[in-house]
Amino acid sequence: MSLINYLTRIHFGPGLLDDALRQECGRLGITRPMVVTDKGLVATGLPDRVSRVLEPDISSVIFDETPQNPTEVATQAGLQLYRNEKCDALLALGGGSAIDLAKAIALTSSHDGPLSQYAVIHGGIAKITNRLPPLIAIPTTAGTGSEVGRGAIIVLNDHRKLGFISPYLIPDAAICDPELTLTLPPRLTAATGMDALTHCVETYIAAVFNPPADGIAIDGLKRAAANIRQATHDGSQIEPRTQMMAAAMNGALAFQKGLGAVHAMSHALGGLPGRTLHHGMLNAVLLPHVLRYNEPEVGHRYAELKQAMALPASADLADAILQLTADLGLPTTLSQMDVTRSDLDLAAPLAEQDHTNATNPRKASAADYAMLLSEAF
């Protein structure tokens, strides 16, 4: 077990969930937490286990309405239960969706007005204060790294998928127990793993000077590239699961620096009405095309990325990512994910407006995004 103090308190290691959770609830003075999770995890019994760990001193309530992409509707439903049950903290148990949803519930429980006003593109960073209730994040996937991140991505009622960023949205503690990922299905292991890998790659080439973030991103990329295939094809082994959880953590610690065009497009597509497109799969499909688009500006940095992935110096980085995605059994085109041509038309202008577009190393307009989306189709 390791206790890492970097941006927040991170308990990291197999088998530490129970002790770390009791410790953090005591430290934060939590007496009535709401567990934010999903119905799939409820079926495994894990939320009930978390509740039993805290009994009899702490009584919790479970909210299991987390959708695949967290929404404003789910935020309001969770907020109502949180207030009705007179809760004083949130325990986010699940993947990035549950953790981001818990952040949104924490925000709306302590800040007045519509959720949209706190989005980055509406000047929300300066409006979010330290009034949020305690939040402990317990990831059950190795992908988003939201357990150590300062942001949340929420689909609003108008179908825009917007980012909410503040240092006050970083969970008060993260409990990263790789044992919780041992039963993750191969396809979800691959998709969340490619999310982590994309975070590391896109952070490293983002148009911001931040050497510490670059170093963390390279370390995360090494771990992801070396372990994602084994974690996907033989998920019963704890070591590759541990390394993938570390890669996910590193990716989110690093992307405080900024992301880029991959996320601008995946946010745009992920918010389209009537769609439940997996964020990690979208990133995997889009990353090779963005690498080729950005190469004129940052191609000189690709050598370090190839080295971290144990690729030959002569390798084509975009082709290597495409081959990795195929090896993992994931879609390699948007059309394979049932995205339509009309979806591309809707997504291109939304991608230009996304907050991650600002840190892409090469300027990208709506027309550029339309081209990239068409190439990925």
Q: Which CATH number is 346's domain given?
A: 1.20.1090.10
Residues 6+ apart with CB under 8 A from 129: 110, 111, 168
- pLDDT at residue 2, rounded to an integer: 85
Q: What pLDDT is attached to residue 5? A: 87
Task: Tally Cβ neighbours within 10 Å of residue 185.
Answer: 10
Structure tokens at 249: 């953590």
Q: What is the pLDDT of residue 230?
A: 98
Token duo for residue 83: 């207030």
CA 288, CA 283: separation in Å to the nearest integer? 9
Which letter does DSSP use for residue 184 in this model?
Answer: -
Are residue 194 and residue 149 in the same domain, yes or no?
Answer: no
Same domain, 149 and 214: no
- For residue 95, give its domain range: 2-180
Query: Do 166 and 193 reside in the same domain of the chain?
Result: no
CA distances to 55, 66, 92, 155, 252 from 116, rounded to whole Å, are 37, 19, 22, 10, 23
Region of 149 please: left (phi>0), alpha (psi -120 to 50) or beta. beta
204 and 64 assigned to the same domain: no
Task: Give yes or no: residues 36 and 156 share one domain.
Answer: yes
Rounded distance between C-alpha atoms, residue 301 and residue 314, angstroms: 14
- Taking a C-beta distance cutoff of 8 angstroms, is the pair 346, 373 a contact? no
The total of structural domains in the chain comes to 2
> Across the chain, where does the E strand assignment appear?
2-6, 8-12, 33-36, 61-63, 89-94, 135-139, 151-155, 161-165, 173-176
pLDDT value for 367: 98
Q: What is the pLDDT of residue 194?
A: 98
Q: What is the CATH number of the domain that holds 73?
A: 3.40.50.1970
User: What pLDDT is recorded for position 276?
Assistant: 86
- Domain match, 361 and 289 both: yes
Q: Which residues does the chain have with pLDDT short of 50?
A: none
Q: Do 94 and 40 share a structural domain?
A: yes
- Please say which residue of 180, 215, 236 terminates a domain: 180
58, 73: one domain: yes
Q: Taking the CB of residue 250, how many other CB atoms lie within 10 A of it? A: 27
| Single residue among 180, 196, 215 that ends a domain in this structure | 180
Residues 6+ away with beta carbon under 8 Å from 49: none
172 and 195 inside one domain: no
CA 150 to chain centre: 11
* Triad 119, 120, 121: Cα angle to 5°: 95
Of 133, 148, 180, the position where a domain reaches its end is: 180
Q: What is the pLDDT of residue 67?
A: 95
- Same-domain status, 158 and 191: no
pLDDT (0 to 100) of residue 185: 95
Q: Confirm if 163 and 223 have CB atoms less than 8 A apart.
A: no
Same domain assignment for residues 174 and 202: no
pTM score of the predicted model: 0.94
Contact (CB, 8 A) for 104 and 65:
no
Residue 171, CA distances (Å) to 89, 92, 175, 180, 309 in order? 11, 9, 10, 19, 30
Mark whether 211 and 333 lie in a shared domain: yes
Helix (H, G, I), strand (E, B) or coil at 4: strand
DSSP structural state of residue 181: G
Half-sphere exposure at residue 241, Cβ-oriented, CA atoms within 13 angstroms = 24
Alpha-carbon distance values, 336 to 77, 216, 275 (Å): 33, 33, 14
Nearest one of 270, 75, 264, 77 to 159, comparing CA atoms: 270
